[in-house]
A = this chain, B = another copy of it.
Amino acid sequence: MKKQKLIIIGGDAAGMSAASKVRREDTEIEIIVFEKSEYTSYSACGIPYFISGKVSTSEELIIRTPEQFKKKYNIDARILHEVVEVDTDQNRVLVKNSLEKTQFWESYDKLLIATGGKAYCPDVENRAADGIFGVSTLRSGIKINEFIENSKPKNAVIVGGGYIGLEMAEALLIKGLKVSLINRSEEIMNTLDSDMGKTIREAMEKLGVTMYLKEELKHFEVKNNTVSAVVTDKQKIKADIVILGMGTSPNTAFLKNSKIALSEKGAVKVSRTQRTNIRNVWSAGDCAETFHLVSKKSFYVSLGTVANKTGVVAGKNILGQKTTFPGVVGTGVCKICSYEVARTGLLEKEAKSLGIDYITATIESKTRAHYYPDAKDICVKLIAERKTGKLLGGQIIGEEGAAKRIDVLAVALTNKLTLQNIIDLDLSYAPPFSPVWDPVQIAARKLIGNQ
């Protein structure tokens, strides 16, 4: 029997999770990974810390090199190979070798698309200028660092006040740059409700970030093909370096002419087995859609956790095992200055837009017993369905020890717990860790009183 061939497009979290899973259970199948950049399997989430200097070398962010994949797993990961076309009728992909400037067709029996995402930027004037960076690949992180070292920019403008924008704002402050941030909506962190985002904005302002709210990027001005200013609908802001923090969009441009179905946002449509509309083609990670267990809708999210999990599920299904990825509840966490910020499930504004009749409560508590040294502030907001008391979502802002409590709410959402169920949970307590009622339970108690 002819040896089967699996081609994987993209050599980071989803692709390499799938590749490793397949190899562990099938020593025969040929596995070829085409990766556009120079790197496989790295932590893109670590880039802000590499820029700030908290992580000293980019190598520390690399989990496994192509050589290690070859040696340990017999996986043929070819870097600097970009797939530019997929032909599902003939089961082949067109590959551009950017080192040798060659191009060739490679056939497959099974195909996994795991090309990840890239920093979104609207199609404005000069968007391709030097000094404008997204933060979605290790290569971009290294380039930012080189640019800072070589061009010594003084003024940084961050476009967008989400996780990445804020992490990068802090990193560039640490590097000694003057940092401004423009944000389209009236409050930063639109991954939270605006009452929660305010705390973070004020902390960042205190740290020295100049915030421009309700301002929209119009275009960039350049000098010698390098960015010199960000022009908004209200003003022109001097910029020697620009970081794009307006979210991530799936890397699927090369699929436009293929028969693989994409969502409106360009994400690959997949079933719960991570299979696309084509029988022998799967997709996983930041280039694919996922399912939101609370809103019960298809959902696009760009997260390392989801990439790893969907990669493994794709791998299992490629092996012929019938498994599914149930979906996500929309959990996210981020550290900004001394603040920890987390959310899961639906925000209040999301519940509202879905037409759900909800109740909400916000409480202030402490991360430890009130009398224990270094008890830090924590603020918890919960949203629940009015009629049933079923949890819909939670948001946490606080200092050290606050954010990871979101995980209790994430498990609660997955299991459709009510506020009373949350109050009844046997959560751990000792004075160095929590008040007797954990802050998430204090919030549930307050909210159940509102019912």
**A-side interface residues toward B, CB under 8 Å?**
13, 43, 45-46, 49, 54-55, 60-61, 163, 293, 303-306, 308-309, 325-326, 328-335, 340, 342, 344, 369-373, 401, 403-408, 410-412, 414-415, 417, 421, 423-434, 436-438
Q: Which residues of chain B come closer than 8 Å to A401, judged between CB atoms?
A: 401, 404
Say how far A344's CB is from chain B's closest CB, in angstroms. 7
Interfacial chain B residues near A412, Cβ < 8 Å: 411
Given contacts A425-B414, A428-B344, contact A54 B372 (CB under 8 A): yes
Q: List 21 A-B contacts (CB under 8 A).
A: A13-B436, A43-B369, A45-B430, A46-B431, A54-B373, A61-B371, A163-B430, A293-B426, A303-B429, A304-B436, A326-B424, A331-B427, A332-B428, A334-B430, A403-B428, A404-B405, A404-B433, A404-B434, A410-B428, A411-B425, A414-B421
A49-B371, A372-B46, A372-B54 are known contacts. Are A333 and B433 too (CB-CB below 8 A)? yes
Which chain B positions have C-beta within 8 A of A434?
Answer: 404
Nearest CB of B to A346, in Å:
13
Residue numbers in B under 8 Å from A163 (CB-CB): 430
Q: Which of B55, B325, B335, B405 contacts A430 (CB 8 A)?
A: B335
- Which residue of the partner chain, among B306, B404, B429, contacts A304 with CB atoms under 8 Å? B429
A46–B369 touching, CB < 8 Å: yes
Shortest beta-carbon distance, A319 to chain B, in Å? 15
Task: Give the number of copies in the complex.
Answer: 2
- Pick from B308, B373, B428: contact of A331, CB under 8 Å: B428
Contacts A304-B436, A333-B428, A411-B415 known; list 9 others, CB within 8 Å.
Answer: A43-B431, A46-B371, A55-B373, A60-B370, A328-B426, A344-B426, A407-B427, A407-B428, A414-B424
In the bound complex, residues from chain B placing their C-beta under 8 Å from that of A417 are 411, 415
Interfacial chain B residues near A428, Cβ < 8 Å: 331-333, 342, 344, 403-404, 406-407, 410
- Closest B residue to A48 by beta carbon equals B431
